[in-house]
Amino acid sequence: MDKRVFLSPPDMGGSEPDYVKEVFESNYIAPIGQFVDRFERAVVSFTGAEHAVALSSGTAAIHLALRVGGVERGDRVLASTFTFIGSVAPILYQNAEPVFIDSDESWNLDPTLLEEAIEREKPKALILTHLYGQSAKMEEIVQICEEKGVLLIEDAAESLGATYGGKQTGTFGRFGIYSFNGNKIITTGGGGMLVGAKAEDIEKARKLSTQAREEAIWYEHTEVGYNYRMSNVLAAIGVGQMEVLPERIEKKRKIFEWYRESLEDIEEISWMPEVEKSRGNRWLTTLTFEKTDPFEVIGALERKNVESRPLWKPMHMQPLFRGARAYGGGVSEKLFARGLCLPSGTSLEKEDVEKISAIVREAICS
Ligand SMILES: *Cc1c(COP(=O)(O)O)cnc(C)c1O
């Protein structure tokens, strides 16, 4: 490839610079202003979430969900082990104790292990990741959390627009979070959103995100807060990106289909599934090889100027979490050893996907 192919680069819709210009003209270069409100309303209207607060990152959104949800020092928090660090680092910010749960054949959280872990650990909360844009088994997971009184926080950082039973991921639990980091399906360059079913939760998060200032003319503080609010400039980019989100989802799904068609005769390849009743956004096209070493394929793609990556290294394998308890582990360990993320940027065309597939095929056969 002449030009480097990235894994999932930003893809602007067109109206973003106009909105940013409006921000400049209004001089609201601050974490307040009409675009922050508009961005929150756009996400609420698209996802059907009740309430939303725009933040500086998805990680900040998870931190606030734990904080508002009452997770404190020493509490146990269950989490998907097969995820990205931003999903679980906030457990440590709260001095709580992470306990990891393996995936099942869906690649997402195993509901049977979840039940077992809740029985033994008596956790306060579960952070559930919808990986690579594919919904977890929501019917089972929601039912288990409700029955056992476990606070459900959905990490939908990668799955904006994915649905289960027609309902958007991120809107099943008391809290859901989205990320607008540079590589996500839509981006503000960096940012996140916390959504929730209860107005008072989101109002509390809004207050904590702006240094927990009390109502007074002077700066009055009774509790510790954070500087987590999203800037109006970035929210303007977000408003533009929300306009093209439905197109981006369809394109990601198409890219997945192109890869699958190009490589369908290779029997050792398995693709990330889409669980029954769900429709993913296919943020990244991901697969596993039965025999081929994925790191060989990553090397072959790199030599042709194409970026690809292994699947997430499970959290229970990370030195940071040495000693943490894990339920199961073998499924995600195998996925990590055998898996690959292919370039899935929404500006790719069919012929790009075919060229990339040809490099993969050659690496397998050589
Ligand atoms: C990107 C991501 C996050 C964190 O989002 P940031 O906005 O980068 O802080 C959390 N969880 C998962 C699964 C992610 O992919």
Distances (CA, A) of 326 to 73, 77, 114, 332, 361: 20, 12, 11, 11, 36
Tell me the pTM: 0.97
| Residue 258 structural domain | 245-365
Predicted local confidence at residue 31, as pLDDT: 81
**Mean pLDDT of the 59-76 span:** 98
Distances (CA, A) of 358 to 140, 197, 300, 314, 353: 40, 46, 11, 29, 9
- Give 2 Cα–ligand 1 centroid separation in angstroms: 30
- Give 85 Cα–ligand 1 centroid separation in angstroms: 8
Predicted local confidence at residue 356, as pLDDT: 98
What percent of the chain clears pLDDT 90, i.e. is strictly above it?
97
Predicted local confidence at residue 134, as pLDDT: 98
**Atom 11 of ligand 1: nearest residue by CA position:** 87
CATH number of the domain bearing residue 336 = 3.90.1150.10
pLDDT band at 245 (very low <50, low <70, confident <90, very high): very high
- Give 109 Cα–ligand 1 centroid separation in angstroms: 17
127 and 103, same domain (yes or no):
yes
Tell whether 342 is covered by a domain: yes
Arithmetic mean of pLDDT over the chain: 97
Tell whether 7 is covered by a domain: no
58 and 186, same domain (yes or no):
yes
Predicted local confidence at residue 319, as pLDDT: 98
Predicted local confidence at residue 1, as pLDDT: 74
Radius of gyration from C-alpha coordinates of the chain = 21
Tell whether 8 is covered by a domain: no
Look at residue 28 and tell me whether its pLDDT is greater than 90: no
Distances (CA, A) of 302 to 209, 262, 365: 40, 20, 17
- Give 251 Cα–ligand 1 centroid separation in angstroms: 21
250 and 338, same domain (yes or no):
yes
Look at residue 29 and tell me whether its pLDDT is greater than 90: no
Task: Name, in order, each residue with C-beta under 8 angstroms of 204's C-beta and a sequence gap of 6 or more.
Answer: 68
Among 44, 92, 30, smallest CA distance to 234 is for: 30
175 and 37, same domain (yes or no):
yes
Look at residue 365 and tell me whether its pLDDT is greater than 90: no
208 and 253, same domain (yes or no):
no
Instruction: Give the residue from 215, 242, 269 where a domain finishes.
Output: 242
Structure tokens of 127? 């952070």
- Give 132 Cα–ligand 1 centroid separation in angstroms: 11
How many domains does the chain fold into? 2
Tell whether 51 is covered by a domain: yes
**For residue range 302-315, what is the model confidence (pLDDT) as tens digits?**
999 999 999 999 99
- Give 61 Cα–ligand 1 centroid separation in angstroms: 10
Ligand 1 contacts (CB < 6 A) are 57-59, 83-84, 86-87, 129, 155, 157-158, 179, 181, 192
CA atoms of 194 and 178, how far apart (whole Å) = 7
**Mean pLDDT of the 137-157 span:** 98
Candidate of 80, 93, 128, 179 to mutate for ligand 1, largest count of ligand atoms within 8 Å of Cβ: 179
221 and 312, same domain (yes or no):
no
In the chain, DSSP assigns E strands to: 51-55, 76-80, 97-101, 125-129, 151-155, 163-164, 167-168, 175-179, 192-196, 269-271, 278-279, 285-289, 326-327, 339-342
Q: How far is CA 163 from the centre of its chain?
A: 14
**Antiparallel, parallel or unpaired: β 97-101 and 76-80:** parallel
Candidate of 8, 62, 84 to mutate for ligand 1, largest count of ligand atoms within 8 Å of Cβ: 84
- Give 129 Cα–ligand 1 centroid separation in angstroms: 10
**Atom 13 of ligand 1: nearest residue by CA position:** 84
Instruction: Give the residue from 242, 259, 276 where a domain finishes.
Output: 242
CATH number of the domain bearing residue 234 = 3.40.640.10
- Give 177 Cα–ligand 1 centroid separation in angstroms: 9
Q: Three-class SS of residue 262?
A: helix
**Is residue 3 left, alpha or beta, with left meaning phi > 0 and alpha meaning psi from -120 to 50?**
beta
**Mean pLDDT of the 99-104 span:** 98
pLDDT band at 33 (very low <50, low <70, confident <90, very high): confident
290 and 159, same domain (yes or no):
no
Predicted local confidence at residue 32, as pLDDT: 82
227 and 296, same domain (yes or no):
no
Other beta carbons within 10 angstroms of residue 365's beta carbon come to 8
pLDDT band at 41 (very low <50, low <70, confident <90, very high): very high
**For residue range 330-358, what is the model confidence (pLDDT) as tens digits?**
999 999 999 999 999 999 999 999 999 99
On whether the CB atoms of residues 208 and 225 are closer than 8 A, the answer is: yes
- Give 8 Cα–ligand 1 centroid separation in angstroms: 14
Look at residue 2 and tell me whether its pLDDT is greater than 90: no
Q: Please report the atom of ligand 1 found closest to the CA of residue 190.
A: 7
Look at residue 276 and tell me whether its pLDDT is greater than 90: yes
**Atom 14 of ligand 1: nearest residue by CA position:** 157
Tell whether 46 is covered by a domain: yes
**For residue range 256-275, what is the model confidence (pLDDT) as tens digits?**
999 999 999 999 999 999 99
Among 59, 241, 82, smallest CA distance to 153 is for: 59
204 and 289, same domain (yes or no):
no
Tell whether 57 is covered by a domain: yes
**Mean pLDDT of the 148-154 span:** 98
Structure tokens of 270? 């398995």
Look at residue 238 and tell me whether its pLDDT is greater than 80: yes
Predicted local confidence at residue 72, as pLDDT: 97
**Atom 8 of ligand 1: nearest residue by CA position:** 181
Q: How far is CA 228 from the centre of its chain?
A: 18
Q: Please report the atom of ligand 1 found closest to the CA of residue 158.
A: 15
**For residue range 4-13, what is the model confidence (pLDDT) as tens digits?**
999 999 999 9
In 103-208, DSSP assigns E strands to: 125-129, 151-155, 163-164, 167-168, 175-179, 192-196
Task: Name, in order, each residue with C-beta under 8 angstroms of 233's C-beta and a sequence gap of 6 or more.
Answer: 20, 23, 29, 35
Tell whether 3 is covered by a domain: no
228 and 300, same domain (yes or no):
no
**Mean pLDDT of the 59-78 span:** 98
Look at residue 234 and tell me whether its pLDDT is greater than 80: yes
**Mean pLDDT of the 194-213 span:** 97
Tell whether 20 is covered by a domain: yes
Structure tokens of 246? 């439905």
Look at residue 185 and tell me whether its pLDDT is greater than 90: yes
Look at residue 295 and tell me whether its pLDDT is greater than 80: yes
127 and 147, same domain (yes or no):
yes
Q: Please report the atom of ligand 1 found closest to the CA of residue 130.
A: 13
Instruction: Give the residue from 242, 264, 283 where a domain finishes.
Output: 242
203 and 256, same domain (yes or no):
no
Q: Please report the atom of ligand 1 found closest to the CA of residue 131.
A: 13
**For residue range 109-144, what is the model confidence (pLDDT) as tens digits?**
999 999 999 999 999 999 999 999 999 999 999 999
